[in-house]
Structure 1
Amino acid sequence: MIELRFESELAAAPDTVWRWATSVDGIADEMSPLLRMTFPRGMRALPADACAPGQRLCRSWLLLLRVLPIDWSDLTLVELDPGRRFLERSPMLSMAFWQHERTISPSPRGASVIDNLTFRPRRPLPRALVRASVALFFRHRHARLRRRFGASRPETA
């Protein structure tokens, strides 16, 4: 298993960050322009409370540079604390195991966003390459969040 952690302090209220980070527009903005994640037509955000833990929400395609399908994820939330935390454990084409926990909490000057990732690729790819690719992508996501909301202090990883 590979484990990574990313943390950013943002100059915005936790509820504002939560609403954006769990909206389809917010997810698209964080991933852009590297990837795009598809969602069913009409879906505007991850469910706030009408989520059956462990039940697939949808199949999302991951599109490289927004157009080239490179992976899919059966988006599955196993724990949800609306406004504060989600734990996603989603079957993926590329990963034998994928877990993404995001926590958003108050901090002295706004909100703290922490992403904890645990994953294992399906194919026997070099561990360092997979780790570096996922780390680069999540650093990009946090940079997009800091650009949108302002950073209250430098990023840690």
Structure 2
Amino acid sequence: MSGASHTFSFASILAAPPEKVWARVSTLSGVNAEMAPWFRMTGPQGVDHLEPGQLALGQRLFRSWLLLFGVLPLDYDDLTFVRFEPGKGFLERSRMISAKVWEHERTLEPHPEGTLLTDRIRFEPRLPLPGLRGLYSSVFRHRHAQLRRHFGGRLAS
């Protein structure tokens, strides 16, 4: 598996307008609500909401630890955005312990039922760890379920 690139995506139609969805998903507390209770991401004290003026695109913003059950360090993400468009989405291209390349693209598009939110993931693992793609995929399946629970909505077909 090492050296190979893996991709997957999830899409949900959320029963809320894009600006309301963005207000939640662009915050660390919103991301942590998506991952609860399994994981929590850390950030610098006092940083919750990201604004374009705070970001130097292409440069590491900060190191975020991924904590299993909110306490056990499992991985880190050197959080780096290469695109960040409020209300529309972002493209994160970072490094992790488990992945030498981690790309998370999230897009929000207006939809007759609210917002079409799509996550596309591409990663290159550092080591041949069986099941890593399945683990990452399960995390995003859970995140989308949490988003639909919060906003209402359904899986996109």
The verdict on a shared fold, with TM-score over 0.5 as the criterion, is yes
Aligned to 1:18: 22
Aligned to 1:141: 143
Q: Give the one of 79, 82, 93 matched to 1:78.
A: 82
Shift of 1:156: 4.2
Aligned to 2:106: 102
Q: Take 1:24 and 1:97, find their aligned partners in 2: how far apart are those partners?
A: 21
Does residue 117 of the first structure (1) align with residue 121 of the second (2)?
yes
Residue identity opposite 2:150 in structure 1: R
Q: Take 2:52 and 2:146, find their aligned partners in 1: how far apart are those partners?
A: 23
- Kept in 2: contact 1:49–1:82 (CA 8 A): no
Q: Take 1:110 and 1:156, find their aligned partners in 2: how far apart are those partners?
A: 12
Q: Take 1:35 and 1:46, find their aligned partners in 2: how far apart are those partners?
A: 20
Q: Take 1:149 and 1:48, find their aligned partners in 2: how far apart are those partners?
A: 25
When the two structures are superposed, what TM-score results if normalisation uses the length of structure 1?
0.93
Q: Take 2:76 and 2:155, find their aligned partners in 1: how far apart are those partners?
A: 29
When the two structures are superposed, what TM-score results if normalisation uses the length of structure 2?
0.93
The verdict on how the C-alpha distance between 1:156 and 1:13 changes in structure 2, with shifts beyond 3 A counting, is: closer
Residue identity opposite 1:144 in structure 2: Q
Partner SS state of residue 123, structure 2: strand
Residue identity opposite 1:43 in structure 2: V
Matches within 5 A, 1:18-57: 18-57=22-61
Q: Percent identity of the aligned residues?
A: 48
Q: Which runs of 5+ in 1 are unaligned?
A: none
Shift of 1:46: 2.3
Aligned to 2:70: 66
